[in-house]
Structure 1
Amino acid sequence: MMTRFLRFTAISFVALGLASAAHAQEARNVILMISDGAGMTTWQAASHYRHGELGGEVYDGFDVHVFMSTYSQGREGREAGSYEAAPAWDGTPAGDVFETRGGSYPQGFEGYRYLRTNPTDSAAAGTALASGVKVHNGALNIAPDGTRLAHIGQTLAANGGVFGSISDVYWSHATPAAFLAHNISRQNYEEIARQIVTDRAATVVMGAGHPYFDDNGLPRSGEDVDYSYVGGADTWQALSAGEAGWTLIDTLEGFAALASGEQEAAAGDRIIGTVPVAATIRFGRDGEGMNDPLIPAVPDLATMSTGALNVLNAQDAPFFLMIEGGAVDWAAHSNNLPRIIEEQVAFNLAVEAVVDWVETHSSWEETLIVITTDHGNGLLLGPDSLDEAFQNVIGQGAGMLPLARWHTDNHTNELVPLWAHGAGADRIRAKATQRDDGLAAWGITPENRIYLDNTALNRAMHDAMGLEFAN
């Protein structure tokens, strides 16, 4: 694990010779890591549990710490989203009830009402990060007028680079698919997966969704087999037979060999890693707590991340990789505090593995890491947050669950944290031109109470890699 960062007083500009480069490149590679559905207090709750205090995670030492707005173009036929600081932090008491599909929550305060109204979904949020354009909820890289949007991986590939997208949930799920595919609806899993396979545009794709295993990693057969998330039976059979233009990896040993280098990746390799489990590598297993036995035959996100980076690095070309901790969002939807902390800690371990990979196989002079989320979920606050507006979660020491209270089982519209380090990180801070001093409620220092929009992050990553924005 990395114990310190090398600080650079100057950024080296690497001439990559990209055909449509708008300017010199600062970052040869960009690694975007998304803890899906993790609002600021989710990150803090996990830090309290893991370290007994805040400030102990590897990204806490990153050069850039800002925030990001996540609103979408809204649902088709409805008002587009927005973010405004004043209503977001409104501490006026509200005595009514907030209704969701899963239950009812006391309204609490007007600020809570605002943050729970008209949030983005992961497809629209992922599209904004991938393509730099706001779209309707549910759409993957399809603009409201029907225009097909170029995502950052496509733009890089058109200029001689390679890209990948991995997740600990289905690899055809909304967030990973936003960096791989185009579809009017995120629900068209089979169509999305088939497009990913047949397009053969990416170099590495990894995630869950194995047709032959259930949520506990146990074999299933007959009518229980589900090919929905891997492109249908024919697509899966072609993958399994090595006839689809990809190498399929679907065993723990295969993922581990990629990560360790025992199985060396080579130029021209195209890998689809499908973990032998149905929906998620961890969250969907039996039980409710973090002490329930893990599924022994599946890799963790850290192993998947290291393997994916090895595959991309072997191509001898600039690369973009999106890494998602997708089940953080699933735990928030379930209001499951032990499992959301478990998922966030696993994501943080993957961050450490990626940092170690950069310091071993690359350098901060050529690689940029961005750590963030696509939106909040659950409005996780302190135990007395119905009486004290925006009370923060309260730590009880390492290994102890913090004191907290959920205020919804759905997505939220608060600003979310973003950390960045490496080549071109300053371009992200430069785009954080808006200010929100309400972030003081979460203990954020004055210099970090600034934010940019998710579409601006996309442009900052384009700029860092010297790519001309395509949409």
Structure 2
Amino acid sequence: MLKIFPAICLVTLGLLLASMGLAESLERVPVSSLQQKNAETNRPQSIHWGPNEKKYSSWTNHSNRLIPIYTFGIDLDAVDGVSSVYRSEEKLEKLFGYLPAQTVNSKAEYFDQTDVYRLQKQAAESGKKRIILFIYDGMDWQTTWAAAIYKSGRVPYREGRGAGLHFQDYRGAKTDFGYFVTTPHNNGTDVNVDRQIVTSPGGSTKGGYDVGEAGEFPWSVPADAYYPIAKGKNIIHAFTDSASSATSMTSGIKTYNNAINVDYMGREVLPISRQLQADGWKIGVVTSVPVCHATPGAAYANNVHRYDYQDITRDLIGRPSVYHPGSLPGVDVLIGGGWGDEKTKDGKQGQNFVPGNPYITQEDLQAIDVANGGKYVIAQRTPGQAGKKVLDDGAAGAIKQGHRLFGFFGIGGGHLPFQTADGKYDPVVSAKSSGPVAAEKYSAADLRENVTLADMSIAALDVLEAKGQPWWLMIEAGDVDWANHSNNIDDSIGAVLSGDEAFHQVTQWIETHGGWDDTCLILTADHGHYLVIEDPEALTGE
């Protein structure tokens, strides 16, 4: 595996040239200008989204690209290279329940998304007492590259681990880099949310990964530009959604798109968090999008469909749900978005949907509040109050009283305000193939009363550590996915940088709270999108 990273030398050389006065000093052009022009004309300049190079936006969904993974405190030797499941017909058939067509690769260096689960199991079995799974939803290698270029003001690498972001450069712990396949068991499975059953197992499109069509590296240019989106000329393989992919990383199985910790037949599987909880571990979940979205939901809950939000939240907070009428124990810390949304009806949530907030009912929120005899200190967006103070006060109260913590923030739409590449919160238009989409606008209250992913992450760490080791924590930078679905390079870079700052603060916290001896951090994404960077220099702002 890649242990030496020449890209770092490029960054060092750039800094040396700058110190000698040999590097040019030019005014940086905002990436927002590039986004604005491309979105309004749908004519690509320097970058585009999707397989059609003549349009800026021709695809707003996921892809079957290989996904990068960075580990800290552990390595990837047990799963990559000669250990890769993709080198063995027998192992692949056991993993999928069938042998995916044109997927075996005797030279595969890449591994599978389900191995992320195995890495966590191995970490716990090896004696680690603190496990952090840091997921950038939707951040493939190209998205990472764009953010690193922008932050560096140069093109510091063109392949490999890369450099320029905190999580690429950090060397405070043993670290490794690799990449894996994210394809699901299948796409197209139908379910009945009220009965919590799968009604058409097997779906319409099976998973697989053809290295000849897609490439052997995350930075490879596919032989068939339409293969990564299940529209290949020679073979079609399904690409994953966030629910299936998160389930693979937390439960170690291949399943259908939309599944939350159930197998392709709809049968319950136990995520790593609940296995560890049964052994006395404390559990935390943090996200910049709604608390019950696919990735945070898969950290703990079970459901046949990702959009059954209120029931997924009930599992997370230990309330009776449609899947668990007797309730689960619930997590110790849950902090995320979803505040401020309202719906009168939602057919995707089944007959037990309660009008109001689509992510958590008022009854459930009141029931878990310590003020009403519940287990959670509630810290939610409060008009006129700074969000960070509200959250910090809630965390302090939870620590002092020995309670759990539930943090609930956001704006209309369920997420936190989108940070843009310039570090501000001033999005420009997004892009669809049908034309530009109006930008979100935030009030002064939206910004003051909310929190950042870094704020939430540190609060969760403090509460979990106060409860005593061992503990497991998922942190999700979910806004990367939302930005990429919108084909918005400005929001996408901003989301990566926001997550990178959270990672930076998390590593500082670890260094001042016992160090890395007992800690494992896995940083990765659940799937890719389809950003194509034709002229990387355009993202330097020069």
Helix, strand or coil for the counterpart of 2:460?
helix
Unaligned runs of 5+ in 2: 1-71, 76-120, 157-162, 190-202, 231-237, 320-327, 344-354, 420-424, 430-438
- Asked if the contact 2:73–2:521 (Cα under 8 Å) also holds between the matched residues in 1, the reply is no
Using a 3 Å threshold, how does the CA distance of structure 1 residues 9 and 82 change in structure 2: closer, same or farther? closer
Determine the structure 1 residue equivalent to 2:533.
Answer: 382
**Is 1:114 matched with 2:227?**
yes
**Is 1:60 matched with 2:180?**
no
What whole-Å deviation, never above 9, does each CA across 1:12-69 have from its counterpart, x for those lacking one? xxxxxxxx99995242111111110011010110111112243122222352011121
Paired residue type of 1:228: P
Q: Which moved more, 1:131-140 or 1:237-246?
A: 237-246
What whole-Å deviation, never above 9, does each CA across 1:365-389 have from its counterpart, x for those lacking one? 1111111100001x11123xxxxxx
Determine the structure 2 residue equivalent to 1:452.
Answer: none
Paired residue type of 2:417: R
Give the CA deviation at 1:322: 0.6
Structure having the higher Rg: 2
Unaligned runs of 5+ in 1: 1-6, 11-19, 91-107, 215-224, 384-392, 402-471
Determine the structure 1 residue equivalent to 2:313.
Answer: 193
Using a 3 Å threshold, how does the CA distance of structure 1 residues 39 and 314 change in structure 2: closer, same or farther? same
Using a 3 Å threshold, how does the CA distance of structure 1 residues 250 and 48 change in structure 2: closer, same or farther? same
What whole-Å deviation, never above 9, does each CA across 1:140-170 have from its counterpart, x for those lacking one? 0011123211111101111111111110000
Give the CA deviation at 1:268: 4.1
> What does residue range 24-39 of structure 1 map to in structure 2 within 5 Å?
25-39=126-140
Determine the structure 2 residue equivalent to 1:453.
Answer: none
CA distance in 1 between partners of 2:475 and 2:408 (Å) = 15
What whole-Å deviation, never above 9, does each CA across 1:329-349 have from its counterpart, x for those lacking one? 111111011111111110111
Determine the structure 2 residue equivalent to 1:209.
Answer: 338
In the superposition, the TM-score normalised over structure 2's length comes to 0.59
- Asked if the contact 1:301–1:347 (Cα under 8 Å) also holds between the matched residues in 2, the reply is yes
CA distance in 2 between partners of 1:22 and 1:275 (Å) = 32
- Asked if the contact 2:184–2:255 (Cα under 8 Å) also holds between the matched residues in 1, the reply is yes
Alignment match of 2:288 (pick from 155, 168, 192): 168
Paired residue type of 1:57: L
Give the CA deviation at 1:226: 3.6
Determine the structure 1 residue equivalent to 2:428.
Answer: 288
Determine the structure 2 residue equivalent to 1:82.
Answer: 208
CA distance in 2 between partners of 1:238 and 1:277 (Å) = 23
- Asked if the contact 1:265–1:314 (Cα under 8 Å) also holds between the matched residues in 2, the reply is yes
Determine the structure 2 residue equivalent to 1:364.
Answer: 516
RMSD across aligned C-alpha pairs, in angstroms? 3.2
- Asked if the contact 2:380–2:390 (Cα under 8 Å) also holds between the matched residues in 1, the reply is no
**Is 1:133 matched with 2:275?**
no
The count of corresponding residues between Structure 1 and Structure 2 is 347
* Structure 1 moving runs of 4+ over 6 Å: 7-10, 20-23, 289-292
More RCO (CA 8 Å, sep 6+): 1
Determine the structure 2 residue equivalent to 1:274.
Answer: 408
Give the CA deviation at 1:364: 1.1
- Asked if the contact 1:227–1:236 (Cα under 8 Å) also holds between the matched residues in 2, the reply is no
Alignment match of 2:365 (pick from 233, 236, 241): 236
Paired residue type of 2:168: D
CA distance in 2 between partners of 1:149 and 1:159 (Å) = 17
- Asked if the contact 1:209–1:229 (Cα under 8 Å) also holds between the matched residues in 2, the reply is yes
**Is 1:340 matched with 2:460?**
no
CA distance in 2 between partners of 1:201 and 1:211 (Å) = 23
What whole-Å deviation, never above 9, does each CA across 1:297-328 have from its counterpart, x for those lacking one? 11100010000011111111211101001011
Alignment match of 2:376 (pick from 235, 240, 246): 246
Q: Which moved more, 1:257-266 or 1:324-333?
A: 257-266
CA distance in 2 between partners of 1:200 and 1:298 (Å) = 28
> What does residue range 384-403 of structure 1 map to in structure 2 within 5 Å?
394-396=536-538, 398=540, 400=541
- Asked if the contact 1:258–1:310 (Cα under 8 Å) also holds between the matched residues in 2, the reply is no
* Percent identity over paired residues: 28
Determine the structure 2 residue equivalent to 1:303.
Answer: 455
- Asked if the contact 2:247–2:260 (Cα under 8 Å) also holds between the matched residues in 1, the reply is yes
Give the CA deviation at 1:211: 3.7
Give the CA deviation at 1:212: 6.3
